[in-house]
Structure 1
């Protein structure tokens, strides 16, 4: 018997909770239908027996957080569905709530006994706040990445990834990356063949990256140097741009520029320049009928080969797959 515990906090995103339950229960049904004796127990827990979801629906949990602590339950996986947070003020308020504090204490306790723990979207903040991701790699929703990086600079954040596994911790990107997280947990607890069946029946496509969904103008941070670097790169997108040239234009040393860019975006200067060019390229690929060679030319590449390799590396697909 494997146990999967879902921690639902007041105001939990309905989609995140439902996606987790539906995917896990589909996997469990496929597992039972295969004739295997392996069983899955799915348990929901909340700070009180009945809570309200983000959409105002009523959830009756199987256990309260207190009952989870007292029961001695030993889950194979603990899942924290998305919390639907959109700003630093909301995040700070949610982390200070009593149900969040109780949930983080449970996460810390399960972390100490090496239970696997998964979180998606803004709920990754709970794992980081509990100190579970210190020194580890993680991802979260791309448009909160600047807030996450400011709060938890010791976490190696890569918001371009859809899923990041580091030891016992699995983190996922924006809200509907909960699908990817749940499917990965199905694979881990029920087997790759069951996960494949779930993906086929539920029409879950393979999506290794969030990068193609990022909206360039919505990626925000407050570092004036990095903002100036973005503006300069965007204005000279047709030209080959070196780190030395960029740092010279901004009147600072390459080392200082690298430190500022790394702190604000989590990228090296070279990858920062590549990312700006790539986002322009993706916009052209998705909104025009230009050939890949023509798109490459418009971002300062000599031919389409380098662009194809970059798209494949970052998005796990070909440029034509983005159209």
Structure 2
């Protein structure tokens, strides 16, 4: 976790077949961070690139500018334009990236990193629809298709489309703390955190027409995270049987009610660790974990660090 003292240069690599929306995410999100980032765009040869839409995108820089980047972002291309073998011009462009530069991929950009050997033995993610192809092609990468992004230190990967927003907000939080990241989110009219992971977007059976939603019960539960909520409590609030509620909840959210509750409690705990001086035991009580030990266990399972390390990292970054 880094504490950034100066403005960072972020260089986005645009390849032929690039998605225009995702290509623009780093500039839009990081560009709203009070001048903390300079975002530039390059191609493998300095020439315009075709997009997956009906227009071509002009860029100002060739691959040489990658050598000046603190962070490199690999923008995604449409699956029709993907090649499993890394094109020679892309491989050459990546040689300009400094060994200490942070590298981020959005969506299918993970295929570029994997083909370049940069994800070998690492945990990563990509769009859920391409997860099977990714696993077959790159079996030595620890793929997690259920999350919105993976931070594996120097290399970060994100899932499809709007998860580029999530990972860019994560970069701001990581570099400058939650206060600035929340400000950026408000300016861009996006949530600072999104609940759950890709699982909620994977194609699910459509609930029966006219079926009651669990949304009201989810909102009700979020106001009572400090209480020992059970599946029975949730089903009773939704006025459904346990079986019907669990099935419908999974259809709508892509997670079981129990897993969703843990995610919400961990998210609330992270916020309190960042924004308050409450003890770990006090935070555990406020978010519905029985003990501080339980909070430590669930936080470590979610993000791989202890509450003390998490607090020290983000409270330091905010200063």
TM-score by length of 2: 0.62
Checking the alignment, whether the CA contact within 8 Å between 1:120 and 1:173 is kept in structure 2 is yes
Report the TM-score, using the length of structure 1 for normalisation.
0.62
Decide which of 150, 157, 171 is 1:171's aligned counterpart.
157
Return the match for 1:214 from 177, 202, 206. 202
**Equivalent residues in 2 for 1:1-323 (5 A)?**
1-27=7-33, 31-32=34-35, 39-51=36-48, 52-65=50-63, 67-68=64-65, 72-73=67-68, 75-85=69-79, 90-92=81-83, 95-106=85-96, 109-110=97-98, 113-205=99-191, 206-207=193-194, 208-216=196-204, 284=207, 288-289=211-212, 293=235, 294=240, 296-298=242-244, 307-313=256-262
Q: When you count helix as a share of all residues, which structure comes out higher?
A: 1
Q: What's the counterpart of residue 231 of structure 1?
A: none
Report the aligned-residue RMSD: 3.2
Change (3 A) 1:297 1:169: same
CA distance in 2, matches of 1:316, 1:288: 27
Residue 25 (structure 1) shift: 1.4
CA distance in 2, matches of 1:286, 1:173: 30
Q: Which residues of structure 1 form unaligned runs of 5+?
A: 33-38, 217-279, 319-323
User: Against the structure 1 CA distance between its residues 100 and 288, is the aligned structure 2 distance closer, same or farther, given a 3 Å change threshold?
Assistant: farther
CA distance in 2, matches of 1:7, 1:152: 22
- C-alpha distance in 2, partners of 1:10/1:55? 11
Tell me the secondary structure at the aligned position of residue 175 of structure 1: coil
Measured in 2, the distance between the counterparts of 1:136 and 1:170 equals 10
Question: Do the aligned partners of residues 16 and 99 (structure 1) sit closer, same or farther apart at CA in structure 2, a change above 3 Å counting?
Answer: farther
Report deviation, 1:78: 0.7
Q: Give the direction of change, closer, same or farther, for the CA distance of 1:316–1:178 in structure 2 (3 Å limit).
A: farther
Aligned counterparts of 2:209 and 2:265: Cα–Cα separation in 1? 16
Residue 193 of structure 1: CA displacement? 2.0
Question: Any conservation in 2 of the 1:4–1:77 contact (CA below 8 Å)?
Answer: yes
CA deviation vs aligned residue, 1:176-213 (integer Å, no higher than 9, x gap): 21111222223334443221111112121222411111
Contact 1:209 1:316 in 2 (8 A): no
Q: Which runs of 5+ in 2 are unaligned?
A: 1-6, 215-233, 268-319
**Alpha-carbon deviation of 1:102?**
2.9
What is the alpha-carbon distance in structure 1 between the residues aligned to residue 241 and residue 110 of structure 2?
36
